[in-house]
């Protein structure tokens, strides 16, 4: 159990590992599985609570960023965007006890006959479709229409996401 706890940021010292696992009724991770194959949720809640009180939440900087330079280069090289038209913004913070980083870039295509393209990613993985309804709502509110010759890049990072669909195609913001 202590080796498992040691794998988490902020819990690598033996004193913290001992504080988290001290008096815990189980010594091994496989003992958290009940006889019917389910996880012992009560024990997991206790373990998670101890881990949270013993460590500090990571700062948003620990999540990392793709960065303005990389996104700009991609938009110019692969999306046909004029470099002078690109606008980039990064927001980072903590919501509840969870850090987040959002990077957004907007650029106008050099070929004005091309339509809008939205490129999104969650935690450094591209998504097949726009993962949050709010993104489309904001674009509609800003009157960025599907026929406009623009490219929008949205990358969002956080430790975990609450998925709203079984296929993990949409998230709750």
**Strand residues in the chain grouped as ranges (E):** 87-95, 98-108, 117-122, 125-126, 150-157
Fold of domain 61-157? Ribosomal Protein S5; domain 2 (3.30.230)
β-bridge pairing 150-157 and 117-122: parallel
For 63-118, the pLDDT digits (tens) are 999 999 999 999 999 999 999 999 999 999 998 878 999 999 999 999 999 999 99
Query: How long is the chain?
Result: 173
Q: Where are the domains of the chain?
A: 2-54, 61-157
pLDDT of residue 25: 67
Long-range contacts at 45-50 (CB < 8 A, ≥ 24 apart): 47/5, 47/20, 50/19, 50/20, 50/21
pLDDT at 22: 85
pLDDT in tens, 39-64: 988 888 989 899 988 988 788 998 99
pLDDT at residue 66 in the model: 96
Q: pLDDT band at residue 147, thresholds of 50, 70 and 90?
A: very high
- pLDDT on residue 37: 87
CA distance 55 to 19: 11
Output the pLDDT for position 107: 97
């Amino acid at each position: 159990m202590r080796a498992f706890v040691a794998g988490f940021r902020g819990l690598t010292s033996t004193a913290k590992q001992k504080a988290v696992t001290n008096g815990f009724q189980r010594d091994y991770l496989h003992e958290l599985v009940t006889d019917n194959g389910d996880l012992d949720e009560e024990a997991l809640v206790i373990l998670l609570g101890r881990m949270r009180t013993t460590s500090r939440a990571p700062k948003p900087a620990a999540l990392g960023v793709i960065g303005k330079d990389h996104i700009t280069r991609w938009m110019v090289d692969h999306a046909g965007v004029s470099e002078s038209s690109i606008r980039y913004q990064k927001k980072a913070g903590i919501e509840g006890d969870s850090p987040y980083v959002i990077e957004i870039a907007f650029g106008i295509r050099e070929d004005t006959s091309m339509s809008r393209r939205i490129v999104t990613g969650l935690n450094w993985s591209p998504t097949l479709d726009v993962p949050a309804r709010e993104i489309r709502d904001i674009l509609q509110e800003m009157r960025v229409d599907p026929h406009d010759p623009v490219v929008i890049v949205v990358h969002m990072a956080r430790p975990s996401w609450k998925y709203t669909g079984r296929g993990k195609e949409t998230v709750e913001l």
